[in-house]
Amino acid sequence: MFTTVRTMRAPEESARAFVYRVLSLYIREMFLRPGEKLVETDVAQALQVSRTPVHDTFTRLEREKMLCSVPRGAVVPPLDPAAITQLIWMYRTATLAAMGELYTSRPATLEPLERCVAREYEALRGGALLQMARLEQEFLTELYRLADRLPVLGALRSTGPDLYRMLRLLEDRRMWGYIADRHAGLVQALALRDHDAAAAALNAEYDLFEPLLAECRYIRPDYFRQD
């Protein structure tokens, strides 16, 4: 079940934190696919912990919409198109507001955002498309950090993982190149104090997400909730 990366427990890490880290990672990164069933005893055996931290983690992940309870276990839920559409709107609105804070506060440097863009282009050159969804999230994290709005981003991410899970499915180099170009344009516009151009770059990225949702539902219908 857990044969890939990041399953080693750190010496100071509690069993509950370890189980949560592994399960949330595997669900978000789509190592555990929608519809896959988890059984507490199996997870406990695989991760070499007792059932109690596994049970507690299942309960937490159900609250966070990353698991659904079923008899004798839990399943990874399908992606919810309505939730993704709502998340696109929420992220667009909140990120535009965060950029407004950057325009007002005028941070001393945009180097953290520039480094994020450089990592995106490096991943594209190396063909590491599976990294791109995570790098897109890192760009957002640095933008909100510079705007001193990380709690807002934390609240957005706690709303649900489905927008990230959708992006994780996509391995189109042109699409990710387009998003990296929009990030580069956004950073350049912020450096020039051109708020309209920065907003246009951001809106262009989120405008892309709706057709991507339709594409994902067409390519992987088994991964999505059926209305």
Cβ neighbours of residue 29 under 8 Å, at least 6 residues apart?
A: 168
Higher pLDDT, 108 or 94: 94
- Reference 99, options 186, 176, 184, 7; nearest CA is 186
Model confidence at 5, pLDDT cuts 50, 70, 90, reads very low
pLDDT in tens, 165-184: 999 999 999 999 999 999 99
Mean pLDDT, residues 99-119: 93
Cβ atoms of residues 92 and 203 within 8 Å: yes
What pLDDT, on the 0 to 100 scale, is given for residue 6? 56
- Reference 86, options 206, 175, 171; nearest CA is 206
What pLDDT, on the 0 to 100 scale, is given for residue 165? 96
Cβ atoms of residues 189 and 195 within 8 Å: yes
Is the pLDDT reported for residue 4 higher than 70? Answer: no
15-75 is a CATH 1.10.10.10 domain: yes
Considering the four listed CATH numbers 1.10.599.10, 1.20.120.530, 3.30.70.100, 3.30.450.20, the one that applies to the domain covering 81-223 is 1.20.120.530
Cβ atoms of residues 61 and 54 within 8 Å: no
CA 186 – CA 81 distance, rounded (Å): 27
The CA angle 2-132-125, to the nearest 5 degrees, is: 115
What pLDDT, on the 0 to 100 scale, is given for residue 1? 60
Helix (H, G, I), strand (E, B) or coil at 38: strand
pLDDT in tens, 187-205: 999 999 999 999 999 999 9
Whole-structure pTM value: 0.90
Mean pLDDT, residues 99-113: 91
Is the pLDDT reported for residue 93 higher than 60? Answer: yes
Can 15-75 and 81-223 be said to share one CATH topology?
no
CA 99 – CA 96 distance, rounded (Å): 5
Return the H-helix or E-strand segment holding 40: helix 40-47
Instruction: Tell me the domain boundaries of the chain.
Output: 15-75, 81-223
What pLDDT, on the 0 to 100 scale, is given for residue 23? 95
Model confidence at 90, pLDDT cuts 50, 70, 90, reads very high
